[in-house]
Structure 1
Amino acid sequence: MSEPKVREMTPEARRKVRAFLMTVPALAVLALVLLAPLVIVVARSVTEPQPGLENYRWFFATPVNLTVLARTFKVAFWVTLLCVVVAYPYAFAMSVAGRKLRLLLILCVLVPFWVSGVVRTFAWVILLQDSGLINKTLLAMGFEKIRLIRTQTGVTIGMVQILLPFMIMPLYSVMRGIDLRLLLAARSLGARPVASFFQIYLPLSLPGVFAGATIVFILALGFYITPLLLGGASSTLLSTLIQQQVLSLLNWGHGGAMGVVLLAATFGGLLIAAPLMRRRYPVTGGER
């Protein structure tokens, strides 16, 4: 846009144009690192080894692929649900705690980010194996061993621990804006604690639940290292099959088709959940 035309605009319009121009470099980088690889994957899925939709026909005609796709979404759902159950009371404790205790709780959430995910997963391998700390503790308490390694349960435990911070922080940011005097007012009007929680506090905290659940669910769908190290043949996720097709078999067509199907299924799930996420819940009060 030429300089004379910019001068003819209103001050508000000029600010918007300049703000957009300032975002152009970031948008270019984003397109380069995200859109370009995505376009390449989609193109290879319909051009290798020959042009057409044969790779997608192969995917949907192979029962193993559909089974693994369903398992991937199942594991992601359970991981998300467990993260909500564990993170909600923890985030609530962070929001109502005093300053020193809050800093300690936040530090406990941030410390895992300072350790590699591979290292944390190997730690779970040690804990979950048949002769690991968990089974030794069960034996010492008089219980029988539980097979956790190379199972879907072990994969779920490892993924929940790694993804938990992504659920806690959005919840905490929303809960810090909820005025707890609303609960006191409800109590003074005769409402029971359980009723005031479900009718007042829970609806106000739902935006944090939806935001955290969306992040965790999307990240869980693409997990690779944790299912590979903690899981077995019966707990294989789609990311592992994609890796096998691309790196082991050098079949970019099949791998690209798998990736595109997973991406399309993810967007489909988000479209289904969008009406709930678009609902607005008023948050009364400011940060305490």
Structure 2
Amino acid sequence: MSNSNTKPDGAARLGWAGVRRHPLLLVLPALVLLILIMAVPLITIIARSFIDPVPGLGNYSWFFSHKLNLIVLWRTFVISFWVTISCVLVAYPYAFAMSVAGPRLRLILVLCVLVPFWVSGVVRTLAWVIILQDTGVINQFVIWLGFDKLSLIRTQLGVTIGMTQVLLPFMVMPLFAVMRGIDLRLIEAAKSLGSHPVKAFFQVYLPLSLPGVFAGATIVFILALGFYITPLLLGGPSSTMLSTLVQQQVMSLLNWGRGGAMGVILLVATFGFLALASPFMRRKYDISGGSK
């Protein structure tokens, strides 16, 4: 009886000692699952871009030899850039209000950000189709003011508005996380030393909040590059993004090679952007507004 009781305990101690010597064993199941879900499909798409329909660089040669593909690739980055700028401009004052508000008001502001985030992106985009159309609420208000109606649907402006609303939580929450850690007494100290409130904000508070700006902007920009539903429903021929062309090649034309090549090119371009932006993200800012 005593031997049967001590053996499992000894085995358990031995197993725990093995895990402590090899902590990678703790993350091994999650690592295997991550490889199966992400790495295998990615490797498959990259491989098919080189071998489908025939081995070689034909798919990449086709992409760069057609001007339309390059225009759409450039447009994808331009739209993503403006969506990121829009998110920063809208999210910064909102996150600041969340950081200085009381507990009850802060809860309401957080819910205003998260509740739409829990709604399907398709539903939110269809709502914007109704709002932005020629007979929508915005154009009715513009006509009531005496102006000509605006072209919002099937334009880059409409796509930017819809994508900004969908991606706004990804900008607000990183900003809020950083702003909550900033001591507002620093601004009061700057004002007590004779600094104007606006100058104190730009020289003290803004530099301390820049890590949140860079983190949120990076997340929003990368997510915007791969958007499909919102540009498809709100956009038109002049606002087509690369994800739409990938869908056409894969689903309509069953050309996995060209679709994979587009995806690989977008992935490489995204990594190139991150390489260019990483020095700014790693830069440390002091409260005088400079960098080091």
**Same fold flag (TM > 0.5):** yes
Instruction: Report Cα offsets for 1:95-145 as digits up to 9, x if no partner.
Output: 000010000000000011221000000000000111111111111121210
1:199 deviates by: 1.2
* Letter matched to residue 57 of structure 1: S
1:280 deviates by: 3.0
Instruction: Report Cα offsets for 1:1-37 as digits up to 9, x if no partner.
Output: xxxxx98xxx9x974733x211111111111111111
Provide the secondary structure at the position in 1 that maps to 2:22.
helix
**Which of 129, 134, 139 lines up with 1:135 in the alignment?**
139
Aligned ranges 1:169-180 → 2 under 5 Å = 169-180=173-184
Where does residue 22 of structure 2 map in the other structure? Answer: 17
**Which of 92, 98, 104 lines up with 1:94 in the alignment?**
98
Where does residue 3 of structure 1 map in the other structure? Answer: none
Q: Quote the Cα distance in structure 1 between the aligned partners of 2:85 and 2:194.
A: 32
Where does residue 286 of structure 1 map in the other structure? Answer: none
Do the aligned partners of 2:19 and 2:25 also contact (CA within 8 Å) in 1?
Answer: no
**Which of 158, 161, 183 lines up with 2:162 in the alignment?**
158
**Which of 198, 201, 205 lines up with 2:205 in the alignment?**
201
Where does residue 281 of structure 2 map in the other structure? Answer: 277
- In structure 1, list runs of 5 or more residues that go unmatched: 1-5, 284-288
Where does residue 42 of structure 2 map in the other structure? Answer: 38
Where does residue 189 of structure 1 map in the other structure? Answer: 193
Do the aligned partners of 2:19 and 2:26 also contact (CA within 8 Å) in 1?
Answer: no
Q: Quote the Cα distance in structure 1 between the aligned partners of 2:19 and 2:161.
A: 52
Change (3 A) 1:160 1:16: farther
Where does residue 126 of structure 2 map in the other structure? Answer: 122
Provide the secondary structure at the position in 1 that maps to 2:187.
helix
Provide the secondary structure at the position in 2 that maps to 1:159.
helix
Where does residue 224 of structure 1 map in the other structure? Answer: 228
Provide the secondary structure at the position in 1 that maps to 2:224.
helix
* Letter matched to residue 17 of structure 1: H
Q: Quote the Cα distance in structure 2 between the aligned partners of 1:194 and 1:137.
A: 34
Where does residue 53 of structure 2 map in the other structure? Answer: 49
- Tell me the percent identity: 68
1:243 deviates by: 0.2
Normalising by the residue count of structure 1, what TM-score does the alignment of the two structures yield? 0.92
Q: For the aligned residues, what is the CA RMSD?
A: 1.8
Normalising by the residue count of structure 2, what TM-score does the alignment of the two structures yield? 0.91
**Which of 230, 247, 252 lines up with 2:251 in the alignment?**
247
**Which of 211, 215, 218 lines up with 1:214 in the alignment?**
218
Q: Quote the Cα distance in structure 2 between the aligned partners of 1:149 and 1:227.
A: 10
Q: Quote the Cα distance in structure 1 between the aligned partners of 2:116 and 2:89.
A: 19
Do the aligned partners of 2:51 and 2:257 also contact (CA within 8 Å) in 1?
Answer: yes
1:281 deviates by: 4.3
Aligned pairs, number: 274
More off after superposition, 174-183 vs 140-149: 140-149
Where does residue 236 of structure 1 map in the other structure? Answer: 240
- In structure 2, list runs of 5 or more residues that go unmatched: 1-12, 288-292
* Letter matched to residue 198 of structure 1: F
Q: Quote the Cα distance in structure 2 between the aligned partners of 1:136 and 1:188.
A: 49
